[in-house]
Structure 1
Amino acid sequence: MLKKLKIDHEFQSKIPPLTFHERNQLETNILEEGRILHPLIVWNGIIVDGHTRYAILRQHPEIQYTILEKDFANRHEAIIWICKNQLGRRNLTPEQRNYVLGKQYEAEKLSRGGAHPRSVAPPSEAPIAQNEQLKGTGSATCDRIAAEYGVSRSTVLRAETFAKSVDVAEEAVPGTRQAILSGKLKTTDKAISAIAKAPQEERPALVQQLYQPKPDKPMRRTPKGAAAAQYKAIEEISAKMEQPAGPLEQSDILAELEDALRLMISRWNTCLAHNPDHRSACQAGIRRLAE
């Protein structure tokens, strides 16, 4: 039965691959157990989930395994299931989550729009904006998916654009999708979208530009006089705020400091998550502040 199973690369591309360490750990666990605990999910002989487990089985055919056959009406329904299954994981990078969310929305529009299972245009020909033919269906679908995952409809629309743009970049330079989704290649939605909008012959060069190291921009330092004035204003506001009538307990002081530390870490992570190109400059600035 194992030899009859097939891999569909479109299905596989919707599943973020394990890291080298995760893959080795999974293989170790399987060999120790002597069997695969989770079944391979299959549709019409095609693997829907369990590609890594399947690869390990090919290397160790003595391992026991089970197969769970799924019944989908078409390829789009299979992709929807894959995306939902992946979005239920907690270890996705923001890029992976964004990509899978976009692919689910794309598949649901196609599934509910009555498109033929094989009539999906290749990424290089697929429009970045919503398909005019599916606008009515897409709007309701977008709202439902947004409610399902607790995000805004604009987040879903941006995710679709991001996913299609990443696929275009992958076509131009194979391996780019994995580099972006794993976080190894730091870029912006704007840069990725620009590649998708460019003529096909220009895309490989634009993708290669993403791989070029970006020089750190010099950090703009606030003039000492202006910084001093800002600190003084903050101190004056703080002094006017209600203060405890008596001395604080040690636990209260530590709680105050802990809250301040959490806020600082949260702001730091938020700033760097949205501005990865400035990480080195920001770290240098923090070191200067600590001196």
Structure 2
Amino acid sequence: MSNYNNYTLKFDPEFTNLIQPLEDREHKSLERKISSHAYSEPIYTWNGLIVDGVEAYQICHKRGVKFRIKRMYFLSREDAISWICTQQLKREDLTEANRKYVIGKKYDAVKAITARISSENSTTGKGGHTYRIEKKIPCRHISATQIASECNTSPASVYKYNEYSRALDNICEKTPQMVERIRSGKLRISHANIIELSRLPHYELKKLYDYMIEKGIEHLSYPDMKRELQWRKVVAPTQKEKIAEPKPVIKQMPKFDPDAELSSLSLTIPSWCSSIERVMNVTDFQRSSKEGKKRLKIQLSNLMTVIDKITKILEEA
């Protein structure tokens, strides 16, 4: 470990994206500690890139305060990402959205590491990580099981969080401000609705975000969002209509869409199917408890009853 004054380190967007920023109060507390030389934690680096201590480095570098560097040794970016995710999951202030996001990103990294080790026919990784490789067991299953054990959750949840993290990355490419609010906990949207939102085009997401900011909305269901889009008649920026001369006509209300609720349900059902298929693919039913299987059978029976009812209504309509 070395001491430096104005030694310049680099940031990697993929790494810093995994690190939850400090709240204003915590950031000011960190500034006071550094200014009074009461901060002793090192800045962790890998190949000159910061992997932990981003905000502490920024403050030290700005104020010209000496800081310590601890160099980490990883075989690959995936090893570095896995380590960063592990460090983030230790934080008590980690938001629930970030916890799910980080677990999902850790799964991608560990799966790549496991595949690499498997191809090398090795059972031990470097950098303090040990991975158990068994023949005929898919790398994704090994990775999900390992992360589930570390995070006190289930492999099925790990797969679900990976889907969640990919959806957030998709939304971030279109409307990064929305993802920032979701991951900070300021905007609450369910997992299924996040998946559906990730499928919307850029202009619809932008309109939704502007609407939520305008109304100060912190929690909004997807059906409500979809209905808002339909009533506001959102159109793509390229589809500009010619502005006609104003006419003295009576103000009209937005056209009612009789298919709004049906469309919302149609968009939600695929996520149910995806969840059921995921359970069938990753669950060892032989090891599942009788009570767990009983609960699922009851709910599936209830679901089939409702499906039969709505199917009958559709046929008779």
Partner in structure 1 of residue 92 of structure 2: 90
> Are residues 24 and 31 of structure 1, via their aligned partners in 2, closer, same or farther at CA, if it must alter by over 3 Å?
same
Specify which of 36, 39, 46 is matched with residue 43 of structure 1: 46
- Choose 196-205 or 81-90, whichever is displaced more: 196-205
Secondary structure class of the residue paired with 1:181: helix
> Are residues 198 and 139 of structure 1, via their aligned partners in 2, closer, same or farther at CA, if it must alter by over 3 Å?
farther
**1:205: Cα distance to partner?**
4.3
Q: Which amino acid aligns with 2:199?
A: K
Does the CA contact (< 8 Å) of 2:34 and 2:60 recur in 1? no
> Are residues 190 and 206 of structure 1, via their aligned partners in 2, closer, same or farther at CA, if it must alter by over 3 Å?
farther
> Are residues 108 and 207 of structure 1, via their aligned partners in 2, closer, same or farther at CA, if it must alter by over 3 Å?
farther
**How many residues end up aligned between the 2 structures?**
196
Give the gaps of 5 or more residues in structure 2: 118-136, 222-317
Q: Which amino acid aligns with 1:39?
A: P
The answer to whether structure 1 residue 7 and structure 2 residue 11 are counterparts is yes
The answer to whether structure 1 residue 110 and structure 2 residue 102 are counterparts is no
Does the CA contact (< 8 Å) of 2:85 and 2:106 recur in 1? yes
Specify which of 157, 162, 180 is matched with residue 155 of structure 1: 157
**1:210: Cα distance to partner?**
5.8
**1:200: Cα distance to partner?**
6.0
**1:216: Cα distance to partner?**
9.4
CA distance in 2, matches of 1:216, 1:140: 36
TM-score, normalised with respect to structure 2 = 0.56
> Are residues 145 and 210 of structure 1, via their aligned partners in 2, closer, same or farther at CA, if it must alter by over 3 Å?
farther
CA deviations on 1:60-92 (whole Å, 9 max, x unpaired) are 11x221100001111111000000011111121
Partner in structure 1 of residue 55 of structure 2: 52
Partner in structure 1 of residue 197 of structure 2: 195
Partner in structure 1 of residue 314 of structure 2: none
TM-score, normalised with respect to structure 1 = 0.61
Secondary structure class of the residue paired with 2:66: coil
Q: Which amino acid aligns with 2:188?
A: K
CA distance in 1, matches of 2:195, 2:212: 12
Does the CA contact (< 8 Å) of 2:175 and 2:202 recur in 1? no
Specify which of 183, 193, 213 is matched with residue 185 of structure 2: 183
Q: Which amino acid aligns with 1:36?
A: Y
Aligned residue runs from structure 1 range 198-237, under 5 A: 198=200, 203-205=205-207, 211=213, 213=217
CA distance in 2, matches of 1:198, 1:47: 34
**1:175: Cα distance to partner?**
2.4
Partner in structure 2 of residue 71 of structure 1: 73
CA distance in 1, matches of 2:51, 2:83: 9
Does the CA contact (< 8 Å) of 1:76 and 1:108 recur in 2? yes
CA distance in 1, matches of 2:56, 2:175: 28
Q: Which amino acid aligns with 2:143?
A: T
**1:195: Cα distance to partner?**
2.3
What is the RMSD computed on CA atoms of the aligned residues?
A: 2.6
Give the gaps of 5 or more residues in structure 1: 116-134, 218-291
**1:167: Cα distance to partner?**
1.3
Does the CA contact (< 8 Å) of 1:41 and 1:50 recur in 2? yes
CA distance in 2, matches of 1:215, 1:81: 32
Partner in structure 2 of residue 253 of structure 1: none
Does the CA contact (< 8 Å) of 1:168 and 1:196 recur in 2? yes
The answer to whether structure 1 residue 21 and structure 2 residue 7 are counterparts is no
Secondary structure class of the residue paired with 2:67: coil
Higher helix share: 1
CA distance in 1, matches of 2:49, 2:212: 35
**1:28: Cα distance to partner?**
0.7
